[in-house]
Each structure stands twice: as C-alpha cells, then as structure tokens.
Structure 1
Amino acid sequence: MKISRIFSGIALTAFLGAIGSVPAFAAGWTQVDGVWKYTDSRGEYVSNQWEMSNGRYYYLGGDGNLVTNSWIDDEYYVDGNGTRLTDTWVIIEDSNTGKDPGWYYLTSNGKCKKDGWETINGRKYAFDEDGKMRYGWFFDDDDIYYLGDETDGAMKTGWRCLSYDEENTPDDGDVSEQYDSAGDDAKWFYFRESGKAAKADSEGYESHTVNDKKYYFDENGVMVTGWAAVKDSAESGDVTGISKFVYLGTENEGNMYKNTWVYLDEHPGDSDDGEEISDSYGDMPEEGDNAWYYLEGDGTPAYLKSSAKKMGAATTKVGNHSYFFNPYGVMRTGLIRITTDNGEIVGYFGDDQPEDSNPDSEMRTGKTTVYDDFGEKYTFYFNDSGSNKGAGYSGEKNNFLYSNGVLVKAEDGMDYEAFKVDGKVYLVNETGKVQTSSKAYKCDGTYTYRISGGKVYYTDDEGEADGEVTEGGSLPDVEYHEEYDL
C-alpha cells in the first residue's frame, strides 16, 4: 500500500490535512477580526508558544495569531485548524513552506521524524536530516537499501529485479523500474530482513544463502550469474585456475550449481573473470563450443589434478560411474593417456564425441574393444578394482599379455614374439596368449625361442638355449585421442 492511500479522503491542498469545522475553543480563546488569539490570566495575548485546548496543541505566532497550515520551528506541523498533527504523514508540494517538496512523518509527540528510520504501520521508512522521506536507492555508509519510488518509500526486502546500468550506477534517491526478469537493463538484488542488500565489502564476491541455495553478489549488490571466480586462490594440483570458479546459472537463476552436470557453450575463460584462468595448458574451450562440466558438492568443477598418480585420482565418480575431466574441467571421451612421474595411465571413456548432448563417456573396465583415432582396432584390458580401477593393465591377465591396457601379440606370420613389459620378458603368440611351456618355439618354421625355468631364451638352429632374451619387440603403437603430461 502506497503512502498516498493513507491519506484517502484528505484533500492535499495548500492547507493539507484541514478537516472538520473550526473547534469551539475553551476559555482563553478569543476571535479578533476573524483571527483566533489566546489571552493569558492577565488578559494579554500569548505569542510564540503552544497552548492546549481539548487535548490538542495549537501555536500562537509572534503576532499572537493562531498559526495554520505551517511548520513550527521546523519540527511540528499545524493543519488548517491550527491543530498540531501527530502520527500522520504530510506531503509538501510547495518549497515556499520552508521544506523541500516530499513526504514527512509526524511522530506521536508531533515532531517530524529526522535522520533515521521509523516503523510505521509495520513498514520501515528512512528520513533525511531535514525529515524528508527517502526513496529510491539509499546508500548509508557501506550499506545499500532500496526504498521504492517517491510515492512509496517503504524499505524493501527479499528479491528485487531492478533496472540497473553497470556503466552508470545509481545515486542516492535514483528510482529504478521493477521487472519480473533480468536482462541487459535489469539485475537481481537480494535485500535481507534488515533491508541491507547482500553484497561484497570490496571487489570480489560475497555469498548469501536463500532458501538453502547459495548465491553470490558483487560490491554493488548485483546477483552474479554464469561463471564466476569466487575463490581467491586455486586448489593444490590445479594448474589452470579452474578451481576458483563456480557456475551460478542463467541471469534469472543465480544459485550455485552443485552435485550436477551442466552442458554449456560459455566457459570460465569467457566470463568477466576470464583472466583468472590460464590458457597455457592445452586447448581451453572457446565460447560457442559445447562442453559438459560436473559441479561437485562445493560447486567446484571436477578437473584433472596435477597430483594424480592413479586412475582413481585422475577421474571423478558420479553415481556409480567414473568420468574424465581435463585440467579445464571439461569432460573428455575416447582413449586417453596421462603421463605422471610414476609412469603412464591409460583409460577409455567411450567412442562418442565429448561435445555431444548425450555422450557415452563412462570409464570402461575389464576387457574392451577400442578403435583409436586412425580407426585401428585394439583389444584392451582395464583394471576392474582398486585405486587404479579403469587404468590399462600391464602384465599377464587371464593368460594374455597387456601393456598399458593394450593386448600385446606377435606380428602376423611370426608365430611367436618376445616382449618386455614392466621389466619382465614374455613370449606370446599371434593372439597375445602368454607361452609358459618349457620347450623350444619355432617362428616361421625356424627355432627362435626356448622357455626354461620360467625365462625366455634365444635358441640355436637345434632349438637349444643360446642366451637369455633381455629386450623384447616393439610394443603396440596406439594413437590416443588425448594425452596429458602431469
């Protein structure tokens, strides 16, 4: 309800508030030439003071005349009957009254409320040092309030979508149009129960939780949306700065996303805080490129940490499945190799393109057929348990030899071939099966290898051992979809 409605039925004329007929004054009052005066016990006219009659105060001016429709001592207001008003609003439309045009409130003792807040009919209003009701934007030291337009003035709380130009921010008393949704010319603000806007104390962002959702606001109180670097420093193991960022939804959402997937074509590097992320590590996503992100419980995007040594640390588990995210937090698919100071980790995350709207990107385990980027078909085996679950297996598994997950087998037509994997020499056939029988083995009809005592030897023409094999053939050369060097 606007203040003007409080005055329903009152004529806002030059003598605002004049109601009823002239009162029947008690003894002491007298009318001279149509003007009311007050005589004291000595019969002299009273001047420059208040007199009470029938429980109401009246003021006699310097000439002894009853004052009407005027401010007294810049503190009180008397109406057209000369009655001192209390607990009511008055509007001044003419600056010749000694007050700036606007709304003023007279308290229970008749004094005009000045320089502070007053609760009136359950709503809070602010007044300047002259007693004029404030409206629009009100900047009180470091606090920001919004008080509606000039006919309203009540302190606003909760969410407000207000017209706002970030290049030309409002001043005290500026009025903003209210909207139902944000856009180029309107932004969301949240005013606490105290009326103070949620905002950062300085450059940066301040979080505020509303209905169990976390929001961030800048130093002007504007609700932040999209990607924002809300943390001062990156986490340990973050080589790009992605861990500073959270995603705050569209211009009409603003709540921090967490424990959820988002599919976006705008990225941290495209945001107002784009300088907080480094573009020196591989391919940073560009604006317009679609990408999947997963926002963890604290809002941080899942990403590849430089400290990862095993597949469990290099991937992120979501539900019952694990996924791979690069150092920029973007989900990736395909055959991926990660090189660490402990060696190599190879994983496979499906054939679909990572920018697809619904890609098959779950980490694979166990025996799997994989096509590399050249279309070559390979058999892989990925660990199915432990901290290195999903990493390519190296060594003998189910009687077959693997190196970083890929099946190692003799070249077609060779029958058998020796390979060295993780420091151990194995003899395998053209299917990759590991040979263990202690005997001589022919390659293309010629004795070439012998197994004796669990070791592999070269042979002479008669098949007898002729020196231990210490180095093996070339391991499979796989074209990986992506490679990362930690």
Structure 2
Amino acid sequence: MKKQTKIAAVLSAAAFMMMVSGLPVYAASHGWVTEGDAKVYYDEDGYLTTDAWRKRGEDWFYLGEDGQIVKSKKIDEYYVDDEGKMVTNAWVELKNEEDPDSPETPDTFWYYFEKDGKSAVSKWVKFDSKWYYFDESGHMATGKTEIDGATYYLGTEKDGFMRTGWIRLEENSHAPGASESWYYFNSDGKMVTTQYDKKIDGSYYTFIDGKMQTGWVLMPSKSDVTDSNAASPKITDYQYYGAAGDGKRAEGFRSIEGISGIHAADEVYTFYFKAGKPYVSDKKGNSLFTINAKKYAFSDLGIMQTGRQIANVANDEIANFYFGEDGIVKTGKQAIYNEETGETENWFFHTDGDKKGQGYHGLRDGILYVYGKRQDATADQRYAPADLNGVTYLVGTTGNVQKASASSTSSAKPELGRGYKDIKDSNGKIWTVDTAGIVQ
C-alpha cells in the first residue's frame, strides 16, 4: 500500500509540475494508459501527450492541455462527442457563443462534420436528397443567403435545406409590422432577381429585385423615366399582374383601380388585357375593339365604355355608339335616357355590316335619324323642322317625315303646283313640304 501510495504521489507531483512549470510528464511505458478514471497517452519517449490527436482502435481522440481526453467540444474544424470520439458524417448543434445577444443570430448553430471529421466550410452538402450550405464558419446557412453572386432560400433554423419554387418571405423579420412578398427560386435554388414575364407553370410573372410584382407595373423601357429626363409614362407603358398574392399577368377583363397619376384616385374601371397590356385607343377619345366577336370601345386611357359614346371609326371620322353595362355594343332601336335633359331619347344603330353599331344617319322607314338620334317634334309642337345634310325636313312627334302626295297642292304657295302640302304646327305656323317631306 505504501508503494502504491508513493507512485500515486509521484504521478500527482509530475502532473502538478507539468501544469506549473511546463515540464513534460514522463512514464516508463508508452501508448494509452489508464490513470484512475482517465485515459492518457504517452509517446515513445515516455512523455505525456497534450494538445494533440491520438487514435485508439478505429476512433480519434483529442488530448487537452492536461493530457486527458476532451469531450463534447469543438476543436478547430473537428468535434468530439461525449465519449471524446471525433465525430464523422454527423450533424452537431452547438450553442452560439460568438454573439449570443444579437437578435440577428440564433441561439445555436448547426454544423456538419464530414467523413474526415472536418466541418463542412463554404460548401454545399447533399444529405438525404436535400442540399445544405455551410458558411465560412461552418454554420449551416438559413433564410435568404447570397452565395457566389446568387441568392438562395435555405429554410429556417430548424431545417436549413435549399428550397425551390414559390416562397413567401417577410421583408425584415425583426421589424414590427414587416410586410411580406413572394419570391421564386428556380430548380437550381437560385432566386429569380429581376425578370419580366417569366413563365411559371403556364402563367407569366414579373420580378423586380426578387419580389413578385402585382398590380400595374411600369415596364423596363419606361422604368427609369423621371420628370427631368422624359415625359410622364403613359398607360401603354404599363402591364397588369393581378392583385396582391396573385401576380399572374392579366388576361381578359378586369375591374380594378387605375394607375396613380393617370386615372382618378380610388376609382374602379374595367379594362381588357392581352398579355398584360390593356386595350387602349391609339387616337384621342374612344376606339372600337372586337373581343370574342363582340364590339367594345376603350378610351385613350384604356377604360371600357358603357352607355352612349362617341368613338373613332374609319377615315378619321367619328360616330355615335351605344354600349350596355357589359360594354357590348347595342344595335337597332334603343331608348336612351339623357341625364342632362331628363328625357328618354329614341335612337337607331346599324345592325350589320361595316357600320354595325354606328348611329344611323338618314331616312329609314320614313323616319329621320341624325347620327343615330331620331328627330322628333315635341308634343307641344306637333311638327318641327329637322336638318339632314343641309336639307330641312318636317317631322312629327315620332320622327315620321311629313310628305305631300303627288296630287296635293299648297294653299300657302299655290304657285308650286301639284306635289306640295301645307301642314300647320301647334303654334299656327304653316309648313309647306314636297313629296319627299322637304320644307319649301
């Protein structure tokens, strides 16, 4: 017992001397030695090994400054587990000791130690068919991350694998009331940055600085317009991409608010879009467009027209039209309420041919129309003159042209002979007309 106690005392003194004086501990044997509950290693010269790796069996261990096996600790690029073994092909979560109080950094970091035991650094690693990226510190990257000039989304702190497809992200997750935007990541994980009309699953989207655009979007040729270098953009410089959360390039009819600075604020208008661009009159005022074999009118601001409107037609001419609440042109007889006069007017619009929908101008079935509007005498007048192309006709209360028979004569103007007729209105005025109804 005295011998064993002496040996223990000598060993303790040697260890103590190593710590206080830096002198190496020497033993007669070398290799792995059990000392109490600890395993230590002596080299071939009998000195205690410290701050170095040594292999035992198939495993590597790190011996600290006291010569004992280090456990559960990251050592440079390596990590040893709770038995002191260097881990390989393994995930390890370690407490963040770099900047634990910063809201920008997590409480812990994930590392991946590869088959040689080194942590993956500044590289991609594929694990279970998923890709992960580890930064220059060996930390598993998460969130929006820029790598070699491209931006990726690497999930949350709980997973960290590379995502593809649509991802909805907050602009600044640490700011109160942060807004969200949609982003798209290609099959290689790279975020679409700025691209117009990118086709995704059969629909088209536009991205600026990665964000999916919605609503009216000023297209690239005009996106740098300023008050100082060019005229203000026009509606033809824009495309429409749906409401928030949608973003698809618009097709067909949409009832939406207009463009700030071009249309009245907070007003809803109906537009028609083809490949995102609205139908717009290329002349001042309204122009006609055919959609699904139906005629519509859109203004020079792209607004679909309803009610009675004037529109541009061929040969730089204009004509009256009447459109329903659905915007489709009306034809034939139409009773139209005039808000200015408070009266209902009678109109007729061409029913076919190149002039379909235009207001009829001329005589039709004995009734006189001027640019579509029936020319009526008021009930108080009974009869009234109406001009058509510089010729004056006499019409009744339903627009009928008043005509003389071939044998009738005028008492007021007998010198005209046969084929003339006198008609007295409610005011007692005598109107003389011929067989065509023309006032003499």
Bucket of the pairwise TM-score, normalised by the shorter protein: 0.5 to 0.7
Residues 1:298 and 2:289 aligned together: no
Q: 1:356-387: CA deviations, max 9, x gaps?
A: xxx35431112323333313443322222344
**Structure 2 gap ranges (5+):** 1-29, 99-106, 224-231, 420-431
Matched, 1:131 2:138: yes
Distance 1:303 1:67 in 2: 76
Q: CA deviation at 1:144?
A: 3.0
**What is the rounded CA distance, in whole Å, between the counterparts of 1:92 and 1:449 in structure 2?**
117
- In the alignment, what sits opposite 1:332? 305
Q: Percent identity?
A: 28
Number of aligned positions between the proteins: 374
Q: Secondary structure at the match of 2:236?
A: helix
* Separation in structure 2 between the aligned mates of residue 295 and residue 63 of structure 1, nearest angstrom: 81
Kept in 2, the 8 Å contact 1:426–1:435? The answer is no
Structure 1 residues 22-421: aligned runs within 5 Å: 29-31=32-34, 34-37=38-41, 39=43, 52-59=55-62, 68-72=71-75, 74-93=76-95, 95=97, 102-140=109-147, 142-164=149-171, 170=172, 185-200=179-194, 206-219=196-209, 221-230=210-219, 232-233=221-222, 241-262=234-255, 264=256, 266-269=257-260, 274=261, 277=262, 284-287=263-266, 289=267, 291-306=268-283, 314-319=287-292, 321-338=294-311, 342-350=316-324, 359=325, 361-373=327-339, 374-408=341-375, 419-421=387-389
The answer to whether the 8 Å contact 1:416/1:441 transfers is: no
Q: Is the 8 A contact 2:121 2:134 kept in 1?
A: yes
Q: Deviations over 1:3-41 (max 9, x none)?
A: xxxxxxxxxxxxxxxxxxxxxxxx95444563332656x
- In 2, Cα distance between the equivalents of 1:379 and 1:48? 104
Check whether the contact 2:197–2:249 (CA below 8 A) recurs between aligned residues: no
**Structure 1 residue 433: Cα displacement:** 5.4
**Equivalent pair of 1:162/1:176 in contact (CA under 8 Å):** no
The residue identity in structure 1 corresponding to 2:115 is S
2:238 partner amino acid: F
Structure 1 unmatched ranges of 5 or more: 1-26, 165-169, 178-182, 278-283, 351-358, 453-462, 466-471, 474-486
Aligned CA RMSD, in angstroms, stands at: 4.5
Distance 1:94 1:141, change over 3 A: closer
Give the 3-state SS of the residue equivalent to 1:257 in structure 2.
coil
Q: Tell me the CA shift for residue 48 of structure 1.
A: 7.4
Give the direction of change, closer, same or farther, for the CA distance of 1:103–1:241 in structure 2 (3 Å limit): same
- Once the two structures are TM-superposed, the CA of residue 88 in structure 1 deviates from its matched residue by 0.8
What TM-score do you get using the length of structure 1 for normalisation? Answer: 0.62
TM-score scaled to structure 2, two decimals?
A: 0.67
| Residue type of the alignment partner of 2:299 | N
Paired residue type of 1:120: F
Which structure has more relative contact order (CA 8 Å, sep 6+)? It is 1
Given that 2:370 and 2:388 are in contact with CA atoms closer than 8 Å, whether structure 1 keeps it comes out as: no
Distance change (3 Å), C-alpha of 1:255 and 1:451? farther
Structure 2 Cα separation of the partners of residues 70 and 318 of structure 1: 72
In structure 2, relative to structure 1, the CA distance for the partners of 1:216 and 1:104 (3 Å cut) is same
Deviation at 1:258, TM superposition (A): 1.4
Q: 1:345 and 1:116, CA in 2 relative to 1: closer, same or farther beyond 3 A?
A: farther
Distance 1:342 1:254, change over 3 A: closer
Rg larger in 1 or in 2? 2
CA distance in 2, matches of 1:56, 1:449: 131
Q: 1:226 is aligned with what amino acid?
A: G
